Amino acid sequence: MSSLRVAVLASGRGTNLQALIEEWQNSFLPVEFVGVGSDKTDAYALVRAQEAGIPTAAFPKEGYPNREEQEKAIRDWLEDLNVQLLILAGYMKVFSPVFLKEVSYPIVNIHPSLLPSFPGLHAQKQALEYGVKISGCTVHFVDEGMDSGPIIMQETVPVFDEDTEDSLAERILKVEHEIYPEVIRLIAAGKVHRRGRKVHIHRDS
């Protein structure tokens, strides 16, 4: 059986991408990384991909007359790669409804909070300001809203009284690096099934 053809979009350091690459290199992920793209030409995620031998592409905002043309270029690139799953790993753009309607493959994202709490930017800061005792991260399918798609997997992280935004973010990130590869493995194995907003995972017995 052929491997799932996967592409990744990232905007920054690409630490979640690195976690995925390492699991793939260790034969944990039955996927084929066919491309890594970014809306930033200087994103370090592109360097990580190149070092792993994965083709890269950049789609900087300033290279297109408008958002529609930028998204079309990304969509065409993904189509040329015959992508079967798109992974967002710190990709700091929200896709337009047009983009989402014109792609035929699922898109997954990871967010540093227990959604639906604290969507959007600075989720760790939001959690600290609200005073929660438990935070965490969420892997979800992407829909037209802001971090509002059906939830695939969540993992909790305790919030300590002495936490800063940076210290909480660091602990959450470690958990992200564990559950994101696990979710991708389950998707590639055909064990993730979505029915409306409900996502069921069929694990090995």
**Domain match, 79 and 2 both:** yes
Domain count, the chain: 2
Q: What are 95's two structure tokens?
A: 């896709």
Strand 192-195 versus strand 198-201 pairing type? antiparallel
Q: Does the annotation list 66 as a binding residue?
A: no
pLDDT at 197: 94
Q: What is the DSSP letter of 116?
A: T
Confidence bin at 185 (pLDDT 50/70/90): very high
pTM for the whole thing? 0.96
The CATH number assigned to the domain holding 182 equals 3.40.50.170
> How confident is the model over 86-144, as pLDDT tens digits?
999 999 999 999 999 999 999 999 999 999 999 999 999 999 999 999 999 999 999 99
Please compute the mean of the pLDDT values over residues 26-41 and round it to a whole number: 96
82 & 3 share domain: yes
Q: Catalytic positions, please? A: 111
Q: Is 183 exposed, middle or buried (0-12, 13-18, 19+ CB in 10 A)?
A: buried
Please give the distance of CA 18 from its chain centroid, rounded to a whole number: 12
| Exposed e or buried b per residue across 61-76, where buried means at least 16 C-beta atoms within 10 angstroms of its C-beta | eeeeeeeeebbbebbe
pLDDT at 99: 97
Residues 153 and 59 in one domain: no
Last residue within a domain, chosen from 105, 132, 163: 105
C-alpha 163, offset from chain centre? 25
The answer to whether 75 is annotated as binding is no
Q: CA-to-CA distance for 93 and 82, rounded, in angstroms?
A: 22
Do residue 85 and residue 127 come from a single domain? no
Q: What is the pLDDT of residue 1?
A: 53
Residue with tokens 């055909």: 190
In sequence order, what are the beta bridge partners of 109? 140
Clarify whether residues 115 and 101 are in a common domain.
no
Share of the chain above pLDDT 70, in %: 98
Strands laid side by side in the 134-141 sheet: 56-58, 31-38, 4-9, 85-88, 107-111, 134-141, 151-158
Which of 79, 105, 131 is at the close of a domain?
Answer: 105
Residues 96 and 171 in one domain: no
Indicate the residue among 90, 105, 120 that finishes a domain.
105
Whether residues 176 and 114 share a domain: the answer is yes
118 and 147 part of one domain: yes
Distance CA 8, CA 81 (A): 12
pLDDT, position 23:
96
Residue 67 is labelled as binding a ligand: yes
Q: What are residue 56's DSSP bridge partners?
A: 36
Predicted local distance difference test score (pLDDT) of residue 203: 79
Domain interval for residue 189: 109-205
